[in-house]
Structure 1
Amino acid sequence: MPWGLRRAEARRFPDPAARSGDPAHAARLSTYLTDLLAQDGLGPPAGMASGHSYGEMALSLLPAEPVDALVLAYDIPDIEPGRATATWLSHVCPGGPMAFAVSDQGRAGAYTGLRLLRDYALSGTYVRALLVVAEQSSLPYDPGVPVEVPAAHCAVAVHFGPSLLEAGAPRIVRGAAPDDLVEILGAVEDATVVLGGHLAGVDVKADRVVLADPGQPMTGVWEAMASVDGPVVVADYDPALRYLCVSAFG
């Protein structure tokens, strides 16, 4: 059986992480961020009490069955930078998977993570795989450049392994425009197309189109995919980096 999508589970977290309300943690985080921001002439951090921890979010989505490989993909920094979250997840996830994180690629981070997991699986090394895509809605400082901050804390666990919904190699097109998706996809039949917020106006040819929540820049398409049955194509666009990302399952 080919390697592909088995299932996806999404969850939003209405409350901040327990650690965010810890005064000792807040003091250490404030010192850490203040020192980093001062190097770039940026002001001190604020509003850290509303943030969330990617480790805490991912923990609630870990499966009961063993996993061979785990990738955590994120864009907005974790409110708990002192923990090597992927390493910690390897320790608490059944199977003790090989685990690492992908960041600093905008929305493309999740697609890069999927490509790595697919390559490992096709080599016969790690077949049972878990991609965790997460974003928390607190950015406690001005980064000095335009950033889309998510509206809610959200994480999605995407499970891969032997499946009829075979995962093709993800495409990340650099220097693209949103309308380039029409040519890339062509006519999509017998499948659902999930579009990220910046692709909502693109006239794709498909039997069914689902629009992701535009308030969730990183997790939106994966959260929407979790509610779709059968073959699905997921597409997203990062306007800051001009990355057009596409993944097909089944």
Structure 2
Amino acid sequence: MPWGLCRAVARRFPLAAEKAADPVHAGQLATYLGDALAAYGLELAGGMADGQSYGEMAAALLPDEPVDALVLAYDIPDIAPGRATATYLSHLCPGGPMAFAVSDQGRAGAHTALRLLLDYARCGTYERALLVVAEQRSLPYDPGVAVEVPAAHCAVAVHLGPSALPAAVPRIVRGVDLADVPTLLGDLGPATVVLGGHLADLDVKADSVMLADPDQPMTGVWEALAALDGPVVLADYDPALRYLCVSSFGCVSSSSG
């Protein structure tokens, strides 16, 4: 049976991480960020008292069954930048999976992570994998480039393995104008299409369309995946990078393959 979606679990975290309230950690973080920002002529604008830890959020979503590979995808920096989060999660997760993180790709990070996990699946060594997509809402400085900060702390765990909903290789198309997205998506047929926030006003060809939460730029489409059954296409657009990202489950013959 081909690899695909086994299940997806999403959770929002209304409270800040315990580390955010720790004055020792807060002081060390302020020194670290201040020094890092100074090298680029930027300044720390405030603390991260409302920040969340990707390690803590992801740990709450780890499965009971063993996993062979784990990839964490994120965009907004972590409240705990000193932790090697993927290694930490490998230590906690049953099976001690091979683990790493993907970042600095905007919304494309999660789709790139899925593509990498599918590459590992094809080698025949890995039987189960976990994709964790996470974002936290505290960014205490202006990075000097366009960035969308989420409204809520959110993490999504996408469980992958032998499945009746096989995953197509994700498409990440660069240099895309928003007006060209419907043509690039094509006719998606008998699937539920989840559109990211910047695609909400577009007319796409599909049996069913669902709009992701526009206030969750990274996790929005993946959080919606956790509430759906059957063939699903996730389509997202990063306006800063001009990337169109498309991942599909259970509809490998569609144009998203």
**With structure 2 as the length reference, what TM-score do the two structures score?**
0.95
Q: Does 1:84 align with 2:84?
A: yes
Structure 1 range deviating more: 140-149 or 156-165: 140-149
Aligned equivalents of 1:180 and 1:121: distance in 2?
32
Structure 1 equivalent of residue 213 of structure 2: 213
Structure 2 equivalent of residue 5 of structure 1: 5
Aligned equivalents of 2:199 and 2:225: distance in 1?
15
Q: Does 1:28 align with 2:28?
A: yes
Superposed displacement of residue 181, structure 1: 2.8
Structure 1 range deviating more: 142-151 or 66-75: 142-151
Aligned equivalents of 2:233 and 2:44: distance in 1?
42
Superposed displacement of residue 199, structure 1: 0.6
Aligned equivalents of 1:184 and 1:142: distance in 2?
33
Q: One-letter code of the match for 1:52?
A: Q
Superposed displacement of residue 180, structure 1: 2.8
Residues 92 and 242 (structure 1), Cα distance of their counterparts in 2 relative to 1, 3 Å cut: same
Structure 1 equivalent of residue 223 of structure 2: 223
Structure 2 equivalent of residue 115 of structure 1: 115
Aligned equivalents of 2:181 and 2:5: distance in 1?
22
SS in 1 for 2:189: strand
Structure 1: 4+ residue segments shifted above 4 A? none
* Contact 1:151/1:215 (<8 A) preserved: yes
Q: Does 1:146 align with 2:127?
A: no
Structure 2 equivalent of residue 62 of structure 1: 62
Aligned equivalents of 1:232 and 1:48: distance in 2?
36
Superposed displacement of residue 145, structure 1: 1.6
Structure 1 range deviating more: 231-240 or 140-149: 140-149
Instruction: Give ranges in structure 1 of 5+ residues lacking alignment.
Output: none
Aligned equivalents of 1:26 and 1:151: distance in 2?
22
SS in 2 for 1:130: strand
Structure 2 equivalent of residue 167 of structure 1: 167
Aligned equivalents of 2:188 and 2:103: distance in 1?
30
Q: CA RMSD in A?
A: 0.9
Structure 2 equivalent of residue 187 of structure 1: 187
Deviations along 1:87-143, one digit per CA (max 9) or x if unpaired, are: 010000000000000000000000110000001001112220100000000001111
Aligned equivalents of 1:94 and 1:107: distance in 2?
28
Superposed displacement of residue 204, structure 1: 0.3
Q: How many aligned residue pairs are there?
A: 250
SS in 2 for 1:90: helix
Q: One-letter code of the match for 1:186?
A: G
Q: One-letter code of the match for 2:160?
A: F
% identical equivalent positions? 75
* Contact 2:174/2:242 (<8 A) preserved: yes
Aligned equivalents of 1:125 and 1:202: distance in 2?
41
SS in 1 for 2:229: coil
1:118-133 equivalence runs, <5 A: 118-133=118-133
* Contact 1:30/1:45 (<8 A) preserved: no
Aligned equivalents of 1:236 and 1:170: distance in 2?
11
Aligned equivalents of 2:17 and 2:143: distance in 1?
22
Structure 1 range deviating more: 168-177 or 44-53: 44-53
* Contact 1:120/1:127 (<8 A) preserved: no
Of Structure 1 and Structure 2, the greater strand share is in: 1
Aligned equivalents of 2:3 and 2:44: distance in 1?
47
Superposed displacement of residue 179, structure 1: 3.3
* Contact 2:170/2:248 (<8 A) preserved: yes
* Contact 2:7/2:160 (<8 A) preserved: yes
**With structure 1 as the length reference, what TM-score do the two structures score?**
0.98
SS in 2 for 1:155: strand
SS in 2 for 1:66: coil
